[in-house]
Amino acid sequence: MTYSTLLYEKKDGIAVVTLNRPDKLNALNSTVYTELYDVFFSIENDPEVRVAILTAAGEKAFAAGSDIAEMQNMGPLEIQHFMATIRKASDFIYALTKPMIAVIHGYALGGGCELSLCCDLRICSEKARFGQPEINLGLIPGAGGTQRLTRLIGAAKSKEIIYTGDMIDAATALELGLVNKVVAPEKLMEEAMAWATKLAGKSGPVLAMAKMAINTAVDSDLTTGLNMETKCNALCFATDDCKEGMDAFMEKRKAVFKNK
């Protein structure tokens, strides 16, 4: 697959999508979001892919935000169309049935931070910086920041980050639960690939059930979440991988999942 704003590669069941506008600090415009939707639609429907990684080219930024040069002269109707494009890509990534790992170096600001929130796991370098600076432009976050950030780290800290527009460093992001792990820059992709390889060895259908149940917990009330958990747990018993996992446990050997 060839894109104008992304790079794509696939190996050993792991897909790596790279934002590729380093000269623009990987600013997110309508083309980026359109191509993100396209590539992740392909990943979702590719049986060879078991885990996806989202990262970025260059040393300075994962994504420094939305492309203000594109947005500056848009009217309300044009912005509405642009936001629909963002929403389509973001919601699809969030709901992807395969585990998603965001690999973050440098700045993850505004739309860049919001894009990382669509992923399941976030690993960043010690040099990473996060923020929602939209308030400084007379705006509020519009790509999920007020919603996904709040659900992840809580209302009080989300309000602090969004109201002030200030950046936080990697250590603070880890403390808040915004990221799962912080590593040295030179170890970033190595660590991410180790995570991806570990997840690729699990059962894809069962991981999908786990993700569906957890996302429901985030997005709904307790009763709805528990009902979804019960449903997803039961569906696991319909997979060959569940039988393999239980057989392997009883036989005291490592399970070999076939992703079905």
Give the residue numbers annotated as catalytic, written as ranges: 114, 134
- Element holding 129 (H helix, E strand): strand 129-131
**What's the rounded Cα separation, in Å, for the pair 148 and 143?**
9
Query: Would you tell me how many other CB atoms lie within 10 Å of the CB of residue 253?
Result: 9
Q: Which DSSP letter does residue 50 get?
A: -
Contact 79, 42 (CB under 8 A): no
22, with CB counted inside 10 A (0-12, 13-18, 19+), is: middle
**What's the rounded Cα separation, in Å, for the pair 168 and 2?**
35
Contact 2, 41 (CB under 8 A): no
Work out the angle between the directed axes of helices 240-250 and 204-219 (0-180°, nearest 10). Answer: 110
Structure tokens of 241? 């991988």
